[in-house]
Amino acid sequence: MIEVKNISFKYAGSKRLVFDDFSLRLEEDRIYGLLGKNGTGKSTLLYLLSGLLRPMEGTVCCDGVDTKKRQPETLRDIFLVTEEFEMPAICLSEYVKLYKPFYPNFSDEILQGCLADFELPADVHLGKLSMGQRKKAYIAFAMATNTKYLLMDEPTNGLDIPSKSQFRKVIAQHMTEERTVVISTHQVHDVEQMLDHIVMLDRHNVLLNASMQDIQDQYTFEYRTPQQMDDSVLYAEPTLQGNAVICKRQEGGAETQVNLELLFNYKTQTKA
């Protein structure tokens, strides 16, 4: 479990606090969606969770160990897939050979599976790949490390359309009970089907921290004609199919699929 306790953080030279007395708990066996407007601190939070940044106040603990110490025992349980990443210009097979000893749970089987899903050969040279292909190789390696905590910052950026569904398949296939995945993204449609918990960030604090099941229990997401609009509508947006609306779910009402984009706009615009 990763526990963020009352942290305050601001960047050097900036007067604005990114987090002020911010707390959050990330449990095992969940895929978290981390959503927020630009500048609300999604990437900063991932850096703080992995120990790449130090909070000014408060603590970030991963299984009881402060992540800012960057101890190898903690680092081998955390893999952060950054939006922009560094991979040396060597063969993927050599990269794997050199770096896998640092991850005790590394699985060659998972790596081969992920590479096959992403249609990448194992002996490919990393320096000769396109940005998207390198990202797929990087995600495949991240999955194969089998770390307990997999943090991903905009993982679908740079991936083509088929790769986005391949990405969802890869995550779903290799999700285990001990694993926690945190995906920070603006591309909610790319990942909304696989998320089981949503954390929405606002300036300094959490706007929403709820499981998908709780959201589905609380709200319904549907399309309505202007004639169907009534007092039960909490939020509406005009679309080509009619008005996309969020309503309070009535007792005994049917469960609907969550429209994350609509929910995000509802929460950020109404701050409900």
Partner 1 sequence: MNTFNFNRFSQALKCQFLVERKTWIRLFGIFTFVMFMANLFFTRLQTNYRNVVENYPTEIERYYDGHVEQTVAFGIFFFCVAMLFGISSMFSKMKDTRKRSAYLLWPVSNLEKYVVSFLLYFVLMAVLTVGAYMLADTLRVFVDWVTGRIVIWGIPKLSEPFTSPAGPFSYWQFAWMFFTWVFYTHSFYTLGGTLFRRQQFLFTTGTAVAIIILLVTIMNQINPDIEFISGNWDEKTHTYTHIFHPFFYILHSTMCALMVFHYWASYKLFTRMQVINNKWLNV
The residues binding partner 1 (CB under 8 A) are: 11-13, 47, 50-54, 65, 69-73, 75-76, 78-80, 82, 84-90, 94, 98-99, 101-103
Least separation in angstroms between CB 111 and partner 1? 17
Least separation in angstroms between CB 34 and partner 1? 17
Least separation in angstroms between CB 40 and partner 1? 16
Place of tokens 């893999």: 79
Question: Which C-beta is closer to partner 1: that of 124 or that of 234?
Answer: 124
Least separation in angstroms between CB 155 and partner 1? 15
Question: Which C-beta is closer to partner 1: that of 97 or that of 189?
Answer: 97
Question: Which C-beta is closer to partner 1: that of 147 or that of 163?
Answer: 147
Question: Which C-beta is closer to partner 1: that of 11 or that of 173?
Answer: 11
Least separation in angstroms between CB 140 and partner 1? 16
CA gap 12, 179 in Å, rounded: 33
Question: Which C-beta is closer to partner 1: that of 68 or that of 186?
Answer: 68
Least separation in angstroms between CB 151 and partner 1? 10
Question: Do the bridges between strand 149-153 and strand 180-184 make them parallel or antiparallel, or are there none, so unpaired?
Answer: parallel
Question: Which C-beta is closer to partner 1: that of 66 or that of 202?
Answer: 66
